[in-house]
Amino acid sequence: MSTTWTPITSEELQKEIDAGVAKMSPRERVLWSFLRVTPQKWALSPWGDDGGGFWVVAVGGETCLYYNDIEDGFNVSRFTRHGVIDDYFCNQDKLQWVIHRMMEAIDAG
């Protein structure tokens, strides 16, 4: 018996986001509050086609933070056109890990 993949729902995604935010430091939460957006599906063909795209949860400059629900993890990519993710990544990172690395990069200058 094989299981069929189904895209994550917005409600399930919100639970992932809430769990990550709960584990962020106060400074990381500030960064998150500046970058976060209402989750929205962005295209990333062909990988995201079956699920109608991937959920982008944060945007800063020409960079987006999205949830790859095929791999169950958050990833960062550049974008050149709003609504289209440029690069496919299959990290299985938690939201708080990604925000932590961003904060480290800011602190490093």
Q: Where does residue 11 rank: exposed (0-12), middle (13-18), buried (19+ CB within 10 A)?
A: exposed
In a domain, 92, yes or no: yes
Which run of H or E residues covers position 32?
Answer: helix 26-35
Rounded CA-CA distance 98/89 in Å is: 13
**Distance of CA 96 to CAs 4, 44, 80, Å?**
28, 23, 25
In a domain, 99, yes or no: yes
Identify the pLDDT of residue 5.
Answer: 87
Chain centroid, CA 59 distance in Å: 9
Which one is predicted more confidently, 74 or 1? Answer: 74
Identify the pLDDT of residue 36.
Answer: 98
In a domain, 2, yes or no: no
Instruction: Quote the percentage of the chain above a pLDDT of 70.
Output: 97
- Structural domain including 68 reads 10-108
Mean pLDDT of 51-74: 96
Q: Which of 33, 35, 75 is nearest to 54 (CA)?
A: 75
Rounded CA-CA distance 41/19 in Å is: 20
Does the pLDDT value for residue 51 go beyond 70?
A: yes
Does the pLDDT value for residue 2 go beyond 60?
A: no
On whether the pTM is more than 0.75, the answer is yes
In a domain, 27, yes or no: yes
In a domain, 85, yes or no: yes
In a domain, 30, yes or no: yes
In a domain, 23, yes or no: yes
In a domain, 3, yes or no: no
Domain count, the chain: 1
pLDDT, tens only, 71-103? 999 999 999 999 999 999 999 999 999 999 999
